[in-house]
Homo-oligomer: A and B are copies of this chain.
Amino acid sequence: MTPSDDIRLDFRRGEQVGLDEAVLCAHKPLPHLLEIARQARASGRGMLFTRLSPEQQAALVAQVEGPWDCCAVSRTAVLGAPHPLRGEGRVAVVAAGTSDAQVAHEALRTLAFAGEKATSVVDVGVAGLWRLLDRLEDIRRHPVVIVVAGMDAALPTVVGGLVGSALVAVPTSVGYGVAEGGHAALHSMLSSCAQGVPVMNIDNGFGAACAALRILRAADRLAGR
């Protein structure tokens, strides 16, 4: 059998639910990953690759013709053209610490690929509350807010109590001891005393962006756009 026997790209999904399939590169053998990129290239559509190791990224860029747009912080790459800009300023990505930037940038890159330019507000964790309060009015301006935090993940509770926007929370795997792997942050977010804060899997910035896109699509639909 060849790698292509193990692959079925799902272009129907984009048509049906309005979100493109993206390629989660972790756990994929390199031959399969290259084959996926070649099929995407041949289809003429843009495709987003997430959780690329440096080795995977180097091999893709070297062996599959681009254009490639790679980002080291978010470990993502875009092959081909992203979607044209459809909205701006509708989503804020708010992150507690510098260490959470990797996940925040994955969300920002996914939104940009889908044509939504978002606002980045990083390093505003509530252990230094003034940092958040300084940016509060700016955050409130956005109808959708993605909140990224690790460790004790106290940020979405405070944001959720101050901001009425639609929220999506993303725990990160930053931390050590009981925080290692992000389970403390996940459980803290799921237990948030603020109302109406749904949560993504640990480090799933991509998924948070997709949830935000679903919300914006629903809003467009309700507005008759």
Contacts and interface: CB of A to CB of B under 8 A. Distances in A.
Interface of A: 1, 5-8, 10, 12-13, 16-19, 21-22, 24, 26-29, 32, 36, 51, 73, 90, 95-99, 101-102, 104-105, 120, 122-131, 143-144, 151-154, 157-158, 160-169, 171, 173-204, 206-224
- Counting chain B CB atoms within 10 Å of each CB, which of A98, A101, A184 scores highest? A98
B128 A12 contact: yes
Contact of A219 (B1, B7, B22, B219): B219
A154 B188 contact: yes
Nearest to A124: B8
A213 B215 CA distance: 12
A19 B195 CA distance: 8
Given A153-B152, A176-B51, A185 B196 contact: no
B195 A210 contact: yes
Contacts of A171: 177
A126 B154 CA distance: 9
A150 to B, nearest CB: 8
Contact of A200 (B29, B124, B199): B199
B187 A8 contact: no
A216 to B, nearest CB: 8
Contact of A192 (B19, B36, B151, B215): B151
A97 to B, nearest CB: 7
A166 B218 contact: yes
Contacts of A1: 105, 120
Contacts of A6: 95, 98, 101, 104, 122-123
A122 B36 CA distance: 14
